[in-house]
Amino acid sequence: MAKRPAEEALEITSGSPASKKARLQDALDYDLPPPPPPPVDAAPVTNGHAHGNAAAEVASLAGASAGRQAELEKGDGPDEEDDEYDEPAVGSRRTAPDERYSDLYLDTISRKNMDFDFEKLCSVTLSNINVYACLVCGKYYSGRGPKTPAYFHALEVGHHVYINMETKKVYVLPEGYEVKSKSLDDIKVVVDPRFTPEEVKALARKEEKDAWDLWGKKYTPGFVGMNNIKANDYLNVVVQALAHVAPLRNFFMLEDLASKPQLAQRFSVLVRKIWNPKAFKSHVSPHELIQEVSLRSSKKFLLTEQADPVEFLSWFLNHLHLSLGGSKTKPKSSLIQKIFQGSLRVESQTITARADAGDRLRFEDAAIKSQSSPFMILTLDLPPAPLFQDDAAKNIIPQVPLTTILQKYNGVTGQEKMNTRMRYRLLHPLPPYLIMHIKRFQPNKFLQSQRNPTIVTFNPRALDVSPYVEPNPQAHPTGEPIVYDLVANITYEGVKVRDDSVEGEAERKVWKVQVKEGGESQQWWEMQDLYVDKVNADLLSTKESYIMIWERRKTGGKGKARAA
């Protein structure tokens, strides 16, 4: 069957696209400035010299056009730039907008969609290099040059304003120019809050002032909720407690830690966000910090599995100490150890059963081994809980005073540890802050953790620890009290949940933290994840305390503790 002839010859088809070189030549010719018109009153040029100048000018313009074309065809021009780089790839992109359009697209910014607490990773490539946040939808994208995810997002979706998460500079894409508008300063403050020394000093001088978020919800800076992504409440309570240790808080709010490891940097950012009075929302998220913790701890501490707060606190303080340049052998070589580290005297003696010994547990001076040991957390042992109630049913919830379990460190009371008898005594100088861990969980015969529900009663003010410190007149006057006040209290609460196992029900661990306001205020706050509320100071000891942080009261005069 014969083919039908074409209606029109291919060579004369009007709709055939021009070649790439032809289009490029047209564009280059279009960019060339037109030759200036000759003067009206000028005489016509007839000599060869004038013709030669005009010819030379035309030749130079043609040569520049040909050189530009050869450069682009060769591939060495800006079009070959890598997508990861931040510089614009097209030389014609503007570095600054027209003055009449400097605020273009700024009305599309949505502050309620912004959440800068999560890890800065590109939502397309998962890269953490050169990350930009879209100020319209809040998503992260890498790069701003052509062929980058941020550039394509601007073209495809029509979101044009982006902020660099490292430099805090705002750009408009795809044009690529920087926006220097004062109306964007509040966004930069939320990305990376900064404080002056005067603002930090004000936190200790007076009570915290209330602030409002974008939804009109009132909150108090420093006492905000923390997002529990899945099971990271053990980390939340530790961070909240450390954020109210004044010297530690002041250091991480003021110091520039750009040269320090990521653990110190991310903890610094989180502390500053907790105390930010210009936040867009009344809570923060520890996502960035816990990702770094998971990486540094070889996945020992995760956001998907609950862990013991005291184990995390010990690990976190030690690694913060190393991140700040501390030594593994030299004591008090970093701010962490200067705040929390103390020393105690440990006496040990091997237990022997002798026929002529009336008391096999009696200490003999000749066999005592004594040494000094540093500590950052004091462990307090609870007495065994009674198995049965008495006749008056008073032992439903057993109680013990804090001063009673502190007798462990009086240097007289002995404790058995395997086949060794131990005695402990605190030594001068005591640290500015004492961390106490009330040991509630013990493994039973079935290798399961068994909780001791004994309540520890205490007064949050004026705890005198001098009976548990070995006298040293050179460090502290003999007989003078050494007074500490409570600043943070982490508590445990067991919630019964239904379980499909043989036991029928299980206990879910709930961790809460109670922190005190600064200044002369005696107001306390209780925080459990996003839940924040005020609590009466008299009710603090009604909970099962697990970790306590006590602040040493400053002395006035001849070593006497300043009155409360």
Tell me: do 200 and 290 sit in the same domain.
Answer: yes
Tell me: do 436 and 462 sit in the same domain.
Answer: yes
Going by pLDDT thresholds of 50, 70 and 90, the confidence category of residue 116 is very high
Examine residue 91 and state whether it is found in any structural domain, yes or no: no
Q: Which amino acid is at 219?
A: Y
Q: How far apart are CA 61 and CA 314, in angstroms?
A: 73
Tell me: do 232 and 254 sit in the same domain.
Answer: yes
Average pLDDT over residues 193-207: 84
Could you tell me the pTM of the whole model?
Answer: 0.78
Query: What CATH number is associated with residue 145?
Result: 3.30.40.10
Q: How far apart are CA 342 and CA 428, in angstroms?
A: 8
Examine residue 384 and state whether it is found in any structural domain, yes or no: yes
Of residues 515 and 3, the one with the higher pLDDT is 515
pLDDT in tens, 331-387: 889 999 999 999 999 988 887 665 455 555 555 555 678 899 999 999 999 998 776
pLDDT in tens, 205-234: 765 678 999 999 999 999 999 999 999 999
Q: What is the predicted pLDDT for the residue at 43?
A: 42
Question: Which uninterrupted H or E stretch holds 62?
Answer: helix 48-74
Residues contacting residue 45 through CB under 8 Å, at least 6 positions apart:
51, 54
Q: How far apart are CA 32 and CA 117, in angstroms?
A: 50
Examine residue 6 and state whether it is found in any structural domain, yes or no: no
Q: What is the predicted pLDDT for the residue at 444?
A: 72
Q: What is the predicted pLDDT for the residue at 203?
A: 83
pLDDT in tens, 434-450: 999 999 998 776 667 78
CA-angle at 323, arms to 322 and 324, nearest 5°: 90
Going by pLDDT thresholds of 50, 70 and 90, the confidence category of residue 514 is very high
Q: Tell me which residue has tokens 């939340």.
A: 236
Q: How far apart are CA 112 and CA 105, in angstroms?
A: 17
Lowest mean pLDDT among 17-31, 137-151, 320-334, 516-530: 17-31
Of residues 214 and 97, the one with the higher pLDDT is 214
Q: What is the predicted pLDDT for the residue at 70?
A: 42
Tell me: do 163 and 210 sit in the same domain.
Answer: no
For the chain, how many structural domains are there in total?
3
Which of 190, 215, 232 finishes a domain?
190
Average pLDDT over residues 313-320: 97
pLDDT in tens, 25-76: 444 443 444 555 554 444 444 444 444 444 444 444 444 444 444 443 443 3
Going by pLDDT thresholds of 50, 70 and 90, the confidence category of residue 10 is very low
Tell me: do 404 and 539 sit in the same domain.
Answer: yes
Examine residue 69 and state whether it is found in any structural domain, yes or no: no
> Which residue segment(s) compose the domain that 485 sits in?
328-353+360-561
Examine residue 383 and state whether it is found in any structural domain, yes or no: yes
Tell me: do 135 and 234 sit in the same domain.
Answer: no
Q: How far apart are CA 239 and CA 289, in angstroms?
A: 10
Of residues 143 and 79, the one with the higher pLDDT is 143
Going by pLDDT thresholds of 50, 70 and 90, the confidence category of residue 268 is very high
> What b/e readout covers 123-155, taking b as 16+ CB neighbours within 10 angstroms?
eebebeebbbbbbbebbbbbbbbbebbbbbbbe
Q: Where are the alpha helices (DSSP H) in 275-409?
A: 287-296, 309-323, 335-340, 402-405
Tell me: do 398 and 345 sit in the same domain.
Answer: yes
Q: What is the predicted pLDDT for the residue at 104?
A: 82
> What is the pLDDT of the chain when averaged over all its residues?
80
- Please answer whether residues 552 and 246 qualify as being in contact, where contact means their C-beta atoms are separated by less than 8 angstroms: no
Examine residue 20 and state whether it is found in any structural domain, yes or no: no
Of residues 555 and 175, the one with the higher pLDDT is 175
Q: How far apart are CA 157 and CA 137, in angstroms?
A: 10
Which of 190, 217, 248 finishes a domain?
190
Tell me: do 383 and 345 sit in the same domain.
Answer: yes
Examine residue 537 and state whether it is found in any structural domain, yes or no: yes
Q: What is the predicted pLDDT for the residue at 386?
A: 73
- Please answer whether residues 66 and 74 qualify as being in contact, where contact means their C-beta atoms are separated by less than 8 angstroms: no
Average pLDDT over residues 250-271: 95
Q: Kindly report whether the peptide bond that precedes residue 374 is cis, defined as omega within 30 degrees of 0.
A: no
Query: What CATH number is associated with residue 466?
Result: 3.90.70.10
Which of 132, 161, 190 finishes a domain?
190
Tell me: do 476 and 418 sit in the same domain.
Answer: yes
Tell me: do 151 and 237 sit in the same domain.
Answer: no
Residues contacting residue 55 through CB under 8 Å, at least 6 positions apart:
none
Q: Kindly report whether the peptide bond that precedes residue 88 is cis, defined as omega within 30 degrees of 0.
A: no
Tell me: do 556 and 412 sit in the same domain.
Answer: yes
Of residues 410 and 96, the one with the higher pLDDT is 410
Beta 505-516 vs 483-498: how paired, if at all?
antiparallel
Of residues 490 and 393, the one with the higher pLDDT is 490
What are residue 266's phi and psi, to 5 degrees? -70, -35
Is the pLDDT at 83 greater than 80, yes or no? no
Tell me: do 456 and 470 sit in the same domain.
Answer: yes
